[in-house]
Each structure stands twice: as C-alpha cells, then as structure tokens.
Amino acid sequence: MLIFELSRPGRKNPSQAPASQPEADDIPAHLRRAGKPLLPEVSEMDAVRHYTRLSQKNFSIDTHFYPLGSCTMKYNPRGAHQMAMLPQFLARHPLAPETTGQGVLACLFELQEMLKDVTGMAGVSLTPMAGAQGEFAGVAMIRAYHAARDDTARTEMLVPDAAHGTNPASAVMCGYTIKEIPTDRDGNVDLAALRAAVGPQTAGLMLTNPSTLGVFEQNIQEMQKIVHEAGGLLYYDGANLNAILGRVKPGDMGFDVIHVNLHKTFSTPHGGGGPGSGPVGVSERLLPFLPVPIVAHDNGRYRLVTEKDLPQSIGHLSAFQGNTGILLRAYAYARMLGGEGMRRVADYATLNANYLMAELKKAGFDIAFPQRRASHEFIVTLKSLKEQTGVSAMDVAKRLLDKGFHAPTTYFPMLVPECLLIEPTETESKQTLDAFVAALKEVLDEAHANPELVKTAPHTMPVRRLDDVKAARELDLTWKAPAA
C-alpha cells in the first residue's frame, strides 16, 4: 500500500503547514509550475501510521540477525549516531570558513590518521561517497601514476574471478581492459595463472583479501612480488577488512592503494539505511594523486588541501568533503573502540564465523572449503541438497525469513554452486548464532521431509515469493495516478 492510495481529496495536515505562503514572484514565470503537484492528502496520524507500519515490515540489523555475507551487517552503535548529530555538526555549512569549522576538520583529520594507521598506508582521502567511488578513485590513481611516468602501455587490469563485480566495473570505467585470473582448489588465486598473465601491459591487480570465498590469500607475498616485478600496482578492495582489522595491515602486505567501506568495517548505516562512504588510502608513491580535499594540520590549524597544493590530484569526487555525517559516525566508532577494540573486532568476527561454520558442519551442511579456516565469513554449498530434494539455496534463504532470520548472501560468489555466503560479524552473541544454526537445521530437515514447504516459502512475511523475473523483465518503478 502506497501513501498515495490512502489519499482523500481535501484531507489535510494543517498543524504543521506554514500559516502563509511566500509569493515566490522573484522566480521567472516560465520556471514556476502551472498546476499543483500531486501529493498525497492524508492526516498527520495516517502518515505516522503508514510509515510506522512500513518500518515494521523491514528486516533490519536493529530487528533481526542479518548474516549477509560480504556486507558486514554489524550493529551500528547509537553512541556514534548521537555524536555525529551534535547540533554544531549538523548546523555546519560546507562552505563556511575553515576558521569556524576547526572542530569538524579536527575529527576528519584524526579519522584520516586512524585509517592510515590501521591500513598501513601513507595517506588517506575521505572524499569518496561510497565503496564503488572509492574503487573508481583507487583505479584512477593507478592510471594517473602510470601516466605520470609516461608508461601508457599499461592497459590491462588483473581481477581474480572471485572478485566483487564492482572491481572489473571500476577498472573499465577508468578505461582498462580486464584480464580474469582463476582460483585454485583451495580458494587462493592461481599463482601460475597470475605469473602467465602479468607483463608490460599490466596496470595492476585488484584483490580482496580475505577473498569473497572467505579465505585469506596464503600466497599474498608471492603475489605482490609477481605484480610489482611486472611493474603493476596492487589494489586492496577493503570489502573484507573487518576480518583483519587491527591485526594485519594491507600496507604490510605490499598494497599500494586501498578503499575502506566505512559502512561495513566502521559500522556506519548500510544499504537503504544510509549513504555509503569509501575513503581511499595510498602508499608513498601514490600520494600526489589522492582525490581532494584532504584535511591537513599545520601551524596548529586544520585546513583543506586542494588542487593548488596537490596539482597531480585526480580531482574532486563530490561537491564538498564526502559524506561528512557518515565520516563523523566512523570517527566516533573508531574512537570508542581504540586500537585494542579494533583488534577485538577482527578476533570476534573471525571466531564467530569459524564457530558458525563448525556448528553448521555438525548439523549436516556442506562447507565449500572445509580444508580452510574461515576468515570473517564462509560458504555453505547446497548442491547435494538440491540434487536430493530439489530445494535450492534460494528456497532455503526464503524459508529462513519465516524463522526470523535475514537470509545470507545467495548465489555469490558464482564460483560455488547453490551457495550461501554467511557473515555473522563480531556483534552477535553465541546465543544468536546457536539459534541461527537451529533454524537452518530445521530448514534442512523440512527440505527432506516436506520440500514443498520450503520451495513455497516464505509463508509468514507481508509478501510471499516475489516474481523477480517478471520484475526484471517488465521493470515498472512509477506509481500512476488512477484517472480522475
């Protein structure tokens, strides 16, 4: 039900309407609308009930365990929201002079410093507005680096086949062609294939470590040697930084550039709940190319570094300084944790994943890489269940909703058939993990005893199985008013 469908002509919400309307006659006549916009006419109570009801239909981290692999759906602490919403932060205009914004600039500067420290990078820019923009910025810096050395023959970006789809997309956006590197049976990048792929055409390698297969690249030192000796740079996709936070620094692994998803690792709101933020960090040789503005601290004052100071910068990625409200939440989160707390994040993210993996194995599930220790996430494959019962990973995911759990990531990575990618994060208790195992075990039993029940799930949600094929084939995103 849309709020437009609740609309009744003449129903108003006068208590919050302005008493008088400004004339707006300084706007040229041809730019003013002729008729009134079509807005829903509802009472204040109708509006409150409508949106409250919608919020109750949500599956969210505030209501349910949300083990969506590769997304790091951890709790967003209220303290971080509270700090970021101090009236002095909210009222600050991005064009106000630096002299009146020393406080917010100090927070951003310290966040840069903390991200440098925890990633082992020489410089950080906070401006990218999302992970994908961070990736774009990172690859654009690799390109700028090679171009500055007149090394224009480097036209190819190497991307392992386990990578997030955004990696090849970002590289193509920067004008590179993609060469895909296969994965070996243990889930590592195939070293022989990497050796064969590098050459004078190699711009770099984009790597997620731990990978989307939920395992740490065991040959990372050898890999960085192969790529660097060929003259390429190493890009670290920070999607899975949660697994190693405070324990292993991408800089120490030899990476030249990294993006961090603050909405994952630094617990800012995620998905539909808030804008993303994808700061980039670089090694010494990429410092001149960082996107601006960056916050500098000299002579006891904070100031914004612009193209004037950094003429080789890849430039601006947004109108101002990135998603400042999100950056402040990440800053508050990092300050609440401290160095010791960040190490605990990685420890418990990993412990929770390995505990869950061991319990699910005991419960009869097939683990995709049973010979490997999980990082912060792991993969269950339901290939044999599908063969035995016809119940697919999607069916199991839908049935989990009935049991009060958000589904794990399904059908990604595509290397593993009928897969569930499960990431519990560090913020869940043993009791929650045990309840999740029990629910999955119930679904497994149901799949054998009564496959139809699972195939037709969900049964208790506000909507049943959606026809995603029809939705994609006949895309229709606009509500149309019925003829008056």
Partner 1 sequence: MSIPNNLKYTKSHEWARQEADGTVTVGITHHAQELLGDMVYVENPAVGRQLKAGEECAVVESVKAASDVYAPLAGEVVAANAEVADAPEQINQDAYAAWMFKIKPANPADLAGLLDATAYQALVESEAH
The footprint of partner 1 (CB under 8 A) covers 165, 411, 414, 468-469, 472-473
Q: Which two tokens stand for residue 381?
A: 């494959």
For the stretch 438-442, contacts whose Cβ atoms lie closer than 8 Å and that sit 24 or more positions apart, written own/partner, are 439/400, 439/403, 439/404, 439/405, 440/360, 440/363, 440/365, 440/396, 440/400, 441/363, 441/364, 442/403
Q: What is the amino acid identity at position 122?
A: A
Q: How far apart are the C-alpha atoms of 115 and 261, rounded to whole Å?
A: 11
For every residue of 78-100, DSSP letters joined together read: HHHHHHHT-HHHHT--TTS-GGG
Residue 46 is classified by DSSP as H
Work out how close the CB of 187 gets to partner 1 at its nearest, in angstroms, rounded to a whole number.
13
Q: Which residues contact 171 (CB under 8 A, 6 or more apart)?
A: 139, 157, 159, 178, 206
Work out how close the CB of 415 gets to partner 1 at its nearest, in angstroms, rounded to a whole number.
10
Work out how close the CB of 414 gets to partner 1 at its nearest, in angstroms, rounded to a whole number.
6
Contact predicate 250/121, CB 8 Å? yes
Work out how close the CB of 54 gets to partner 1 at its nearest, in angstroms, rounded to a whole number.
25
Nearest residue (CB) to partner 1, 185 versus 308: 185
Number of H helices, E strands in the chain: 15, 13
- Measured CA to CA in angstroms, residue 310 lies from 115, 133, 186, 296 at distances of 20, 20, 44, 12
CA atoms within 13 A on the CB side of 12: 6
Work out how close the CB of 80 gets to partner 1 at its nearest, in angstroms, rounded to a whole number.
35
Q: How far apart are the C-alpha atoms of 171 and 77, rounded to whole Å?
A: 34
Nearest residue (CB) to partner 1, 54 versus 471: 471
Nearest residue (CB) to partner 1, 33 versus 473: 473
Nearest residue (CB) to partner 1, 207 versus 416: 416
Q: Would you tell me how many other CB atoms lie within 10 Å of the CB of residue 54?
A: 13
Work out how close the CB of 280 gets to partner 1 at its nearest, in angstroms, rounded to a whole number.
26
Contact predicate 316/127, CB 8 Å? yes
The b/e string for 330-363 (b: 16+ C-beta within 10 A; e otherwise) is bbbbbbebeeeebbbbbebbbbbbbbbbebbeee
